[in-house]
Chain A
Amino acid sequence: MKKVIAAGLAASMLAVTAVGFAGCNNDETLRSKYEDYFLVGATMSYGNFEMYEDLAKEFSSMTCENEMKWDSLQPEEGGFDYSLADPMIEFAKEHDMGVRGHCLAWHNKDAVPSWVYAGGFDAARERLLTHARTVCAHFDSTVYAWDVWNEMLTDDQDEDDTNLFRVSYADDATHGSRWHELAGLARNQSAEDRAAANQKIEQLVVDTFAAAREAAPEGTKLYYNEYFVNNTYKCRKLLVFLEDLLEMGCEIDGVGIQAHYDITSFDAEMLENLIIDIHELGLDVQITEVDFSMYDYNADTSLYYTEFTPEMEELQAHCFAKVFEIARKHKDKVSCVTQWGVADDSSYLFNMPVPNRNDWPYLFDADHQPKLAYEMVMDF
């Protein structure tokens, strides 16, 4: 049952909000303000990048939302297609934005063609390594960082260090990974079989990073990318995973923390601790997909707001400010903060998880104007 919430505040409060703020230097942008700290990025898509001509100058980094995923780059085996990504790369170059490559390997069935998995583990692995090498070589130095692997870890809330990876596709066709299935991961398997599957998965990761390292130009950074929301158990699993990878000599440079949140549940303490813990392993951190939705992704599927109220804006602003504050505090650990979108006129959140729902997740409003969040992020 939808619950439609209408605006409920006096116009005077809206008017006060409209006064806004400015930094002391009106020519400053996010990228210039954060020049001594870290790159500031945004995510664009083939369908919308041209409309962000006005905001491109704010950002020093760009991520393609979908155009560098497997199904875009190699929809058929051997048939590499860069027709969507290349124009975006050109756009990024024109605007002096570095490009984060996202992502070489993933489980999502909508982003990886099923032919990839045919023939068993060894065949799939070969395809993956070929894909990684080919793609990294193609983009060459236009991409300064790659998300080599994405979203492998389980969301289970336990302290079982053998339960690291998301379930296999055979056990869960919606959320499961065929990579993990091919590697032999299964529910209710013996400890021995679980260990063997984990080892196989981790070796696959190591091999993928090695392939990317081999093909990408020197200096390209290689990342493992993951979402945590507020799941502290998953943070622990990440660290166990990273320790294993490092022990195996993985060519990993850092971890991408996606940082998808909603405004009423954002554990800043957890985020900061995670950054510190990753750094202690000798790895870099990038915040790769930050956004602050109005809705809890899983719990608020019946909630529909019709208006972005001042309370929402204010809370969102504080949340964004906190993320950037933490990143500034740890600028020795964090090399980029990217939001997963640009402005409130275009977002995956308009249709996920609920179709046709309003949301206002970014630093800029639908008219490409800075929101209170932008002002607070700039205010230091």
Chain B
Amino acid sequence: MKKKSILLVTLSTLMAASLGLGVLTACNSAEEVKASEYVNGTNFYYGDGQDVHLQGWITSVTNDAWTVEEGFVDEAAEGSPVVTKLGYSKNDAWRNFGVKIDGNYSDFSYLNITMRAETRGLTPGAVNVNMKIVNPIPEKDGVNVLGSDLYFDVSMDTYTTYSFQIPSIYREILDVTNDVCLFPEPGIANSDVIHAGDIYVKDMWFSKDRPADGVTPVDDTWRTEAWCGYEVTRGGESEAIISYNHPADWSRFYRPVPYDEIFMENGTVNNMLKLQFTSDTVTIGETVYEDSVEQFQVGLWGNVKPGSSEGYYQQWFGQYYRDKYEDTNDWSNNPSVFKVEKDEETGIVTLYCRVAPALMAMEGNYDEQIWICFNLESQPQGGGSDQAPGYIHGPVEFDGIGQMTILSSEFYFDENEPVYSEPIVNDSGWNSSVAGAYTVSSEKAGVIANVTYKDLAPDMWCCVAYAINGTAEGNTLTIQLKNNGEEKVLYGIDWNSEASRQYGYIEPGATAEIRLQNAAMTGPVNLFLDSCYPGYDSSVTDPHSGDVDIVSMAFTNEEIAPPEEPDDPDPVDVAWGVVDSGKSFYDIKEGENIDANVQYSGVSPDLWANLYRDVSADECKPNVKLTLRNNGTEKVLYGAELGAVETRKYGWIEPGQTVTVELSNENVYTVISLFLDCCYQGEYTTDKDTLSGNVDIVSVEFSGEFAPAEGDGLVWGLNSDATLITIDGKVITLNNVVPSTAWQNVNANITLTGAGKLTLPITNNTNAVAKFKLCLMDESWAQIGADSSASVAWIEIPVGQTWDMVLTLTADEAQRAAHIMLAVDCWVPEDANLPDETTFTGTVTIGEMTFTSDATQPPVSEGTVVNVTWGTDAANLSVSEKTVTLNNLPIGAWQNVSADLTLSGACKVTLSITNNTGDVAKFKLQLMDAAWKQIGVDSDPCVCWMEIASGETMELTLTVTAEQAAQVAHIMLMVDCWAPNDVVTETGAPCPAGPYTGNIVLGDVKVS
């Protein structure tokens, strides 16, 4: 080690002056520690542990507008104290007063300042200030050693001591920093309004303990965190200005909301938030970004949520997209959507946000804090945070550059909006299927649950549902319901079976006892209260309110009686059927020399429940003559179409009259729809509330020939169940399709030869990311391949984009294909990427299908058996040959068995699994490389997911490319890979509760 020069104490003092090192004592010195002193403009602390009272105020501005007057007698204050008067007049945003310090100030835990302040002007006002101790480390000067930047209004008439506890995590920085700063009206520059004022400082000092009269400033201003990459400043009349240039993923800026800003002292709970902002122009270099705010989400955040990825309890009000949002006054019955108003003249955007539902959804987890929180152009899309982030769900990409000025954020009460009510305890197991529709409480004594509702639409078809985990205790449920209201209540109730749903009225004050049976003993019990009128009495149109108790529920095992034999032993064998909503009104019978006779009563003129006749590919012709005869005494209005509303024709049939309706459709269709006396609209009117009739469908004649198909030869038609979509050629139109419920589809006949890849481009021009499913059907309309196989494709396509859907087919699969089906919108509620939109509208365009034969594929064969040895290191599994025993395997444990495996070349790997666990189980089959890393991603064809019911055997298939095959070292089967809140796909029931016992039996691993 080199010898260094020995320091003198005086030299160390000089060094301290330039570097802020503090004075180091000689190692053997027994000198007393010197008292603090103010020398040459710096407050030196030498370590005596006594409070350091700071002096020597300076300004960062060298002009006459900023003044420091020592020894000022403040006659306006009580006692006329002698203070330091700091006067400012701002012509720039970030100017400050300050004092210099030097020494090991880490000895202290508090910075305190006693002051008052007022703005100058005709009417003096409060001065907002920010106290800051500057971190001297490069690029860390934005970090305030006092913790987060605190903006607060200084008291005006009286002196207040403000105390700042220095966070222990930053305390060491005090040893090396030099500047304690006071920013008046931080961030505000001079404008048309003069920003000037005076701050009277009685004292500022460091202490170890909080002064007895010290107060922590209340800071309810907008702020962010250093890691985020937002710059939050104040300017002019705004609450905050937020600038950003590629903020970090999931950044946030927020304003703490004092409790009484929402929960007012007079008992009112403000249920609305009005936010006003401008989307500013930003110039970076030579690039100008006008109207720069492209996307954000805003919501309420509450307490810290330990162990969660979000970090906090939070409820987002909604998503804002600059290029999508227009003025909307339609809440769409969705409490999570905010209303947007844009003033084109001023550029001010106003959001009206429903606060009450957000608070109630947080269930009281906001007692420690409430923030209004923004996440502005910082949601990741797979890329790194140093790239322009995109919004992970689509539909808008943004550049991560911009500036927002928040003009105001104001809570208020609106009696016409959902009001806040205290969190209701509900551990009954019954829950409303639509948030806010029913209020369910388990707090009422003597009943299982109390259900209340207000102004429920009669056709809303929402229910309270009782989820049964696994199987119930018996196959018969006896349930008692009591009507506490003053109006009769219509109930519809079923146990996981719409077909066996029971309806009935409960008179006011009465109790109804209902018996439901379910042989499988699984699935939810669904109770519709005053929301299912179309299923019972479609004449009811008024909304209803009600109060119903679920008094008791009892599960027992009883004999399930077989279904009653119909009075007429001869089944009706007609080609015509009626949609579900018409089943209780239309009665279809056979008839002599006619296709069908239809009798109906109580039909509402706008019921729109159609009869339908499926049309096979063989009989489908472009022209149809539909002959109808009216046997009744009143004229009948008909509407008839060939698979597309554009082909629909209306007309009257007088009593006794026979009419022949000529319909045509140049595109292939698969259904004829017929509306009888339920399609009144426009020029077609009736003065009757309900209608009855008797009509013969005499005959249907097909004629003509379709023009030869161009391109790929596929002629797409609408599935008979599709009511919310139409198709014209290759363009599908969606009309307010509610995501996750519709699963509507189009299909076409298809003939394929040989193994290969079928590619179908799909263009999504709807208003939201849409999910599609493409598959092939055989002659009997059975799907070819499982949902998870390579012969079925699933895709989520962002708005405005065209993506290919690809089916990989074996020769056998291609040979069996008779139809190709495209399901449009096949979201399920649990889907991670389910968009927030309540409905889809727009078009989807089907591109030209191509089929590439794969001559290298071997002929269809069963595959070669590969001998593998299964093993496991899982805690709850054991393997003996091909039997895997499950030892109380918890649900969601993701335990696995594996075996070594090598593959040569592209191939298919199949493994059959028999589930003997007693419950449906979810499996994942995958391949691993030598480092035990999964080959491919979860959605690739080389990964297979399968839910297998108990007692069933299913085959899992992996489709492996040559490149992937070269990497394969192991095959791994995950046994039980449910995720939290998973549902069983087939039944919609919650996944089993577990744990699993029993075993699964593995078949041979086959490679073909």
Contact = CB atoms under 8 A, between A and B. Distances in A.
Interface of A: 1, 3, 5, 8, 12-13, 16-17, 19-24, 26, 114, 117-121, 123-124, 156-160, 163, 170-171, 181-184, 186-190, 193, 230, 263-270, 294, 299, 302-303, 305, 309-312, 314-315, 318-319, 322, 369-370, 376, 378-380
A270 B169 CA distance: 8
B890 A186 contact: yes
Q: How large is the interface on B (under 10, 10 to 19, 20 to 34, 35 or more residues)?
A: 35 or more
Given A117-B873, A181-B875, A309-B138, A170 B306 contact: no
A189 B890 contact: yes
Given A156-B307, A310-B19, A21 B932 contact: no
Nearest to B874: A120
7 contacts: A120-B874, A156-B307, A157-B306, A160-B307, A230-B169, A299-B226, A318-B176
B137 A311 contact: yes
B536 to A, nearest CB: 41
A24 B172 contact: no
B24 A22 contact: no
A25 to B, nearest CB: 8
A-B pairs, 5 with minimum CB distance? A158-B306, A20-B4, A269-B168, A1-B386, A318-B175
Contacts of B5: 19-20, 22
Contacts of B104: 318
Contacts of A119: 871, 873
Interface string B218-256: 000000001100000000000000000010000000000
A269 B2 CA distance: 35
Given A123-B873, A311-B176, 4 more contacts: A120-B875, A309-B137, A318-B175, A379-B25
B890 A315 contact: no
A22 to B, nearest CB: 5
Nearest to A3: B139
Contacts of A188: 892, 980
Interface in B7-29: 7, 11, 15, 18-21, 24-28
Given A5-B139, A120-B872, A123-B873, A266 B172 contact: yes
Contacts of A318: 104, 106, 172, 175-176
B28 A267 contact: no
A160 B306 contact: yes
Interface string B126-161: 000000000111111001000000000000000000
B387 to A, nearest CB: 9
Contacts of B484: none
A117 B25 CA distance: 56
A5 B138 contact: yes
Given A21-B4, A189-B890, A314 B172 contact: no
Interface string B383-424: 001100000000000000000000000000000000000000
Contacts of A118: 871, 873
Nearest to A189: B890
A361 to B, nearest CB: 15
A114 B6 CA distance: 56
Contacts of A265: 169-170
A186 B306 CA distance: 17
Contacts of A114: 932
B757 interface: no
Secondary structure type dominating chain B contacts:
loop
A290 to B, nearest CB: 14
Given A264-B140, A264-B143, A314-B19, A184 B876 contact: yes
Contacts of A160: 306-307
B900 to A, nearest CB: 12
Nearest to B12: A21
A22 B137 CA distance: 25
Contact of B892 (A26, A186, A314): A186
Name the prevailing secondary structure of the A interface residues. loop
B893 interface: yes
A190 B892 CA distance: 11
A207 B318 CA distance: 53
B55 interface: no
A360 to B, nearest CB: 13
Contacts of A302: 385-386
Nearest to B168: A269
A23 B875 contact: no
Contacts of B119: none
Given A182-B873, A314-B19, A315-B172, A23 B893 contact: no
B270 interface: no
A362 B543 CA distance: 74
B305 to A, nearest CB: 9
Contacts of A5: 138-139
A5 B140 CA distance: 11
A171 B890 CA distance: 14
B763 interface: no
A309 B176 CA distance: 13
Contacts of B138: 5, 8, 305, 309, 311-312
A302 B227 CA distance: 11
Contacts of A12: 18
Given A264-B137, A264-B143, A370-B1, A1 B875 contact: no
B397 to A, nearest CB: 18
A114 B171 CA distance: 43
Most chain A CB neighbours (cut-off 10 Å) among B26, B137, B980: B137
B894 interface: yes
Nearest to B15: A16
A333 B136 CA distance: 34
Contacts of B15: 16, 19
Nearest to A302: B386
Given A13-B19, A157-B306, A315 B176 contact: yes
A183 B876 CA distance: 10
Given A1-B386, A156-B306, A263 B876 contact: no
A184 B875 contact: yes
B173 interface: yes
B895 interface: yes
Contacts of A190: 890
A19 B106 CA distance: 25
A325 B878 CA distance: 55
Contact of A22 (B3, B21, B135): B3
A19 B19 contact: no
Given A16-B19, A157-B306, A370-B1, A264 B135 contact: yes
A314 to B, nearest CB: 5
Interface in B870-928: 871-876, 878, 890, 892-895
A56 B882 CA distance: 59
Nearest to A27: B1
Contact of B168 (A159, A186, A268): A268
Contacts of A294: 137
B13 to A, nearest CB: 12
Contacts of A268: 106, 168, 171-172
Contacts of A26: 1, 3
Contacts of B874: 120
Contacts of A267: 168-169
A299 B227 contact: yes
Interface in B843-876: 871-876
